[in-house]
Structure 1
Amino acid sequence: MADEETQSTFAKITGLVVAGAVAWIAGKAVDAAWKAASGHKPPKPEDDDDPRIAEVVAAAAITAAAVTVARVFATRGTKKFVERVDKNRRLPKA
């Protein structure tokens, strides 16, 4: 039972770290692509200027899609990694 809890905790921590890192990287990639395409950074809620609503919606949709796709791939990769680590940790049953 303790082995299962350790695996579960390890999987949760690894998944959390990887998902957070991937979401941050995806957000930065969208920011860079947006700036390259439009000449300025995508609108953020804390911006003082008044961006067009279409630009705000487009930036939100693109960022959300990129982060979601990146998290799916990160979750799948993390699951495979945890399974491989767990398989190597198990002791043979007597």
Structure 2
Amino acid sequence: MSGSKQQDLVAKLVGTAAALAAAWLAQKLIAETWKARTGHEPPRADDEGDHGLTELVAATALTGAIVGVARVLATRGAAKLTSNDGA
């Protein structure tokens, strides 16, 4: 495998691992913050609880936005760290 192809593979693997870790960490942070503010866990798809539509939409939007941003930033950071020029 050529050096460039190997470096591309390493960048993809590191980027994927960083994105997964960032998404997991963001979800944990959201769950803890939600619980501290509301007194209960954020609603999930498999919950049979009595969560209102407003709470479901808020939890989904907040989680999606924060996890999405965390994944993008982690992937970009990993790509920057594994790039040839380091800039």
Q: Which residue number in structure 2 is paired with residue 23 of structure 1?
A: 23
Select the structure of larger CA radius of gyration. Answer: 1
List structure 1 segments (4+ residues) > 3 angstroms apart after TM superposition.
Answer: none
User: Could you tell me the TM-score, scaled by structure 2's length?
Assistant: 0.89
Identity %: 43
SS at structure 1 position matched to 2:12? helix
What CA distance in whole angstroms lies between the structure 1 residues aligned with 2:37 and 2:50?
Answer: 20
SS of equivalent to 1:48: coil
CA RMSD of aligned residues (A): 1.6
Which letter maps to 2:29? A
- Taking structure 1 as the reference length, the TM-score comes to 0.83
Q: Tell me how far 1:87 sits from its aligned partner.
A: 5.0
For 2:13, the equivalent position in structure 1 comes to: 13
Report how far residue 26 of structure 1 moved: 0.3
Matched position secondary structure for 2:55: helix
Task: Give the paired residue count.
Answer: 86
| Unpaired stretches in structure 2, ≥5 consecutive residues | none
